[in-house]
Amino acid sequence: MPSKIDLPPHNARAYLEPGPIVLVSSRHQDETNVMTLGWHTIMEFTPSLVGCMISAGNHSFELVRQSGECVINLPTLDMIDTVVRIGNSSGRSVDKFAANGLTADPAERVAAPLIRQCYANFECRLVDDALVDRYSFFIFEIVKAHRARRPRNPQTIHYTGDGEFMVAGKMVSRRALFRPAMLGNGRS
C-alpha cells in the first residue's frame, strides 16, 4: 500500500457508511490485538462519530474499554483471507499481527497501531460508553483519518454471513438530482 494522505475525519463516512468489514486494532499496556467488525454505523459528521458493536466475547473488548481507544482499519479484497483468519482466531492465543504478516505503524493520536496494509485508518477515541454494558456498543470519535492516495474507490468487502462477502461494485452518480445543501462529505 503506497504512503497515505490525511483525510478530514468527517469524510470517513465516505468509506464507512457503505458498510464494509473493518479491522479494529487496539492496545492496552503491553498488549496489542486486532479483530474483524461488521456491525458499525456512522452517527455524526462533526464531531465525526462512529458506533461499533464489540461483543464482550472478543479479546479486544477489554483492550478497547480499558484504553478508551482503537483504530478502525479498512481492508480491501486482496486482504480477504487475512480478514477471515483474523475473524476465526482469538488474540488470547495468537499474536494476530505476526501470524498474518500485518505491519503495525504508529498512530498520531492514539496508542493503538495503524495497519499499514489497509486502505484507510481511522484513529478513534471512546467518547460514550453508555451502552457498553447493555449492548457492547461503543461510541467513538474519529480524531485522525488517513487513506491511500489511490484508487479513489477501494474494493471493500461487505459481509453477508455464512462465509460469503459482497465486493464493492461500480459507482453511480446521481449528483444532478440532489439539492446542493445535501451534497458534500464524499470521496472527492
Residues that bind its own copies (CB under 8 A): 11, 13-15, 17-20, 38-44, 49, 51, 53, 77, 80-81, 84-85, 87-88, 128, 130-131, 134-135, 137, 139, 153, 157-179, 182-188
C-alpha cell at 34: 486486532
- Measured CA to CA, the distance from residue 55 to residue 57 in angstroms comes to 5
CB of 174 to its own copies, least distance (A): 5
Report how far apart, in Å, the C-alpha atoms of 63 and of each of 20, 28, 102, 148, 176 are.
23, 5, 19, 27, 45
C-alpha cell at 27: 492496545
- Measured CA to CA, the distance from residue 41 to residue 29 in angstroms comes to 28
CB of 40 to its own copies, least distance (A): 6
CB of 142 to its own copies, least distance (A): 14
CB nearer to its own copies: pick between 2 and 161: 161
Half-sphere exposure of residue 5, counting CA atoms within 13 Å on the CB side?
9
CB nearer to its own copies: pick between 20 and 113: 20
CB of 173 to its own copies, least distance (A): 5
